């Protein structure tokens, strides 16, 4: 049974690492982290029309001195592939990706499965370091280190949030 406080833990991890700017195309799962960011007057959350647009906005903001995180479903990772490669990786622009992992354990929607199953391999193919925390303890153990690596390496990193952590979405 997932601990419903996972969303606050994700929001806290991002905030305590100096991130105050967020872009999103929301889904049911990442919305549980977003609600804490929407409610925080120190945070700016931009709802993009498409995930790669959010990536462009966060990349520009980084060039202007602000750290950013993009919250989305793994279908959004599919929408972001070229921008991740040709902007963030090619120009070494770090960004933190927070991705709800649909299409895996317990998935009810066949349309979610192919990109969900490809998600880790998409990240690997772009040389984007990622973690898949399966509990809050796991998240807390890895999160600060992953965000730090993004800015040390000047490249994107990704949290893939599996249903063991989030409870997933029940069909």
Partner 1 sequence: MTRATATRLLVERLTREVVVSNLGQATLDLQRLGDRPLNCYTFGSMGQCSSIGLGLALARPDVRVICLDGDGSLLMNLGSLCTIATLRLHNYALVVWDNEVHMTTGGQPTATAFRSSLAAIARGAGIEKVLEPAGEAELQQAYDRVLGEDGPFVVNVKVEKGRAEGKLDRDVIRHKLRFMTALAALPAP
Binding residues for partner 1 (CB under 8 A): 21, 44, 46-50, 52-66, 68, 82-83, 85-87, 90-93
Using the minimum distance from each CB to partner 1, give the nearer residue, 84 or 157: 84
Of 32 and 83, nearer to partner 1 (C-beta) is 83
Find out whether 60 and 95 touch, Cβ atoms under 8 Å. no
Query: Which among 151, 150, 98 has a CA at the least distance from the CA of 128?
Result: 150
CB of 17 to partner 1, least distance (A): 17
- Give the shortest CB-21-to-partner 1 separation in angstroms: 7
**Which of 117, 38, 111 is closest to 71 using CA atoms?**
38
Q: How far is CA 2 from CA 103, 152, 153, in A?
A: 18, 32, 32
Alpha helices, H only, the chain:
6-16, 31-38, 51-63, 74-83, 113-125, 136-153, 163-166
Nearest to 113 by CA among 102, 121, 124: 102
The distance of closest approach from Cβ of residue 6 to partner 1 in the complex, given in angstroms and rounded to an integer, is 28
Looking at beta carbons only, is 86 or 152 nearer to partner 1?
86
Q: 74 or 83, CB closer to partner 1?
A: 83
CB of 117 to partner 1, least distance (A): 26
């Amino acid at each position: 049974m997932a601990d419903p406080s996972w969303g606050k833990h994700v929001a806290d991890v991002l905030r305590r690492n100096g991130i105050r700017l967020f872009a999103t195309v929301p889904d049911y799962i990442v919305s549980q982290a977003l609600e804490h960011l929407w409610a925080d007057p120190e945070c700016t959350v931009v709802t993009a029309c498409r995930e790669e647009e959010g990536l462009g906005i966060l990349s520009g903001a980084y060039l202007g001195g602000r750290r950013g995180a993009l919250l989305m479903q793994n279908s959004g990772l599919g929408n972001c592939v070229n921008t991740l490669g040709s902007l963030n990786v090619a120009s070494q622009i770090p960004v933190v990706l927070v991705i709800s992992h649909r299409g895996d354990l317990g998935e009810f929607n066949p349309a979610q499965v192919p990109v969900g199953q490809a998600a880790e391999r998409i990240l690997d193919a772009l040389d984007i370091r990622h973690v898949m925390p399966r509990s809050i303890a796991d998240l807390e153990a890895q999160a600060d280190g992953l965000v730090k690596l993004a800015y040390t390496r000047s490249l994107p990193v990704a949290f893939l949030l599996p249903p063991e952590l989030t409870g997933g979405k029940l069909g």
